[in-house]
Amino acid sequence: MSWTLFRATLHQRRTLIFWFTVGLVFYAWVMTWFYPTIGEEYARMIETFPPELLADALDPVNIVAYWQPGLIINGDPVVAADWWLYGAISVVTLTASLAIFARRDVA
């Protein structure tokens, strides 16, 4: 790693780093001052929920259990004859990503 390049990058991004830091400090201030009020109301709200809802909401999510081959995200079936199109799109996307991010000036 080039320290000169690192320092130059920090120098170029100094306004971005400054505003990011200001945002983090503001967020920490808001959480410090308003969380006790929000926390009490949140605890009261959780106590009003029925146990069945809490059991369903707090169970871990198993993404693999929801996977169904041949279905698009909204649940519509994909005809097997159209699978080549989605495969071609994924290959083109992967190839373009590798070509763009393998260049020295991007990485």
Summarize pLDDT for 26-81 with one digit per residue, the tens. Answer: 998 888 787 777 777 877 887 888 877 777 666 666 666 666 666 666 667 777 77
pTM of the predicted model, to two decimals? 0.37
Q: Is residue 51 domain-shared with residue 98, that is, in the same domain?
A: no
When divided into structural domains, the chain yields a total of 2
Tell which residue, 67, 68, 46, has the closest CA to residue 58.
Answer: 46
Q: Is residue 14 domain-shared with residue 44, that is, in the same domain?
A: yes
Q: Is residue 87 domain-shared with residue 49, that is, in the same domain?
A: no
Question: What is the domain range of residue 105?
Answer: 68-107
Q: Is residue 52 domain-shared with residue 75, that is, in the same domain?
A: no
Report the C-alpha gap between 10 and 8 in whole angstroms: 5
Supply the pLDDT for residue 42: 77
Q: Which of 9-18, 58-67, 94-103 has the highest mean pLDDT?
A: 9-18
Which of residues 80 and 18 earns the better pLDDT score?
18
Secondary structure class of 73 (helix, strand, coil):
coil
Q: Is residue 53 domain-shared with residue 87, that is, in the same domain?
A: no
Report the C-alpha gap between 22 and 16 in whole angstroms: 10
Q: Is residue 77 domain-shared with residue 54, that is, in the same domain?
A: no
Report the C-alpha gap between 95 and 89 in whole angstroms: 10
